[in-house]
Amino acid sequence: MSAFLIAGFFVFVLAMVSAAGYLLHTRREASEPEALEMAARIGMEADQEKGLMDAAASVFHNLGEMLPASEASRDAMRKRLNYAGYRSAAAITSYFGIKCTSAVFLAMVFCAFALRTRDDGSMIFAAAVCGLGLGFLAPERILDVLIKSRNQRLRRSLPPALDLMVMGLEAGQALDQAMLLASRGLQSFSPDLSQELLGVYLETRASKSRADSIRNMRDRNSEPELRKFCNLLLDADRFGSSLAPTLRQHAKFLRVRFRQRAQEDARKLTVKMVFPVFFLIFPAILVVTLGPAVLIMQKYLKNLWV
């Protein structure tokens, strides 16, 4: 009797598992067309957004080509765009087009505001000139912020890159393969430094000397620590010294320097907090603590005078 119960229970469990698997399989097959349709719709939306971005970039590019600029100014601006990570052939003309568009847009906004508030023609002209100058200079300030933020990202990700390169060199790999390993490891953590190291590897594979590839990486970046790293690689390649101990000591030096810089900023914080505390927090504390006492004293003094 017990054997029949065990066999029946086994058959029941097998039937339930089979039914659940069949339902899940049919549901998956039914949902696959919906998933494919959704993926196609997302792809179409991405293509539309890319098309809009390409159209806007082409408009800025055409405007930038119409603006007169000397070759020296273009070279200087191209170098700054390289520092910010914009290295396409149309970056410089698109940047000048953005400057022209922002200048005209802010001039129109300032002029419209002046028309609503003032009727004087000279004031309207002055507002338009101010908007034109502000719109022309605003992209340069934004570019400075982008360069600074990219340099900070490169500086923060340099010690992990050195550690990955040391691991590759100690495993017996060449410097090019170690750079490729570090580039793959930093792809999600720091795409900027990953692209730089990958660029050195690809230039070396494209029959360019290793020293020239490292010099190109040094010239297209303005971060001092990255430039020191490039000089370190050039010196090691020139004199034939061992790279793994040098890179390990340099990574340790960078971490110590970053820690000292953070401690220095923490010590400066107490001095920087004096002015906000004195001008913002201290008056509010005085109002909260002495306000009721002042009101009570005013009430009793008024009764005395009466």
Q: Across residues 256-278, what is the average pLDDT? A: 87
Q: What one-character-per-residue DSSP string does 149-161 give?
A: HHHHHHHHHHHHH
Mean pLDDT for the chain? 77
Can you give the pLDDT at residue 145? Answer: 92
Structure tokens at 160: 């992990």
Can you give the pLDDT at residue 46? Answer: 39
Q: Residue 288 carries which side chain, given as an amino acid letter?
A: V
Q: Across residues 92-113, what is the average pLDDT? A: 82
Can you give the pLDDT at residue 306? Answer: 55
Per-residue pLDDT band for 120 (boundaries 50, 70, 90) equals confident
Q: Residue 276 carries which side chain, given as an amino acid letter?
A: P
Per-residue pLDDT band for 149 (boundaries 50, 70, 90) equals very high
**Residue ranges per domain, the chain?**
151-269
Q: Which pLDDT tens digit goes with each residue over 211-220?
A: 899 999 999 8
Structure tokens at 78: 């191209």
Can you give the pLDDT at residue 16? Answer: 56
Question: 19 versus 198: which is more confidently predicted?
Answer: 198
Can you give the pLDDT at residue 150? Answer: 92
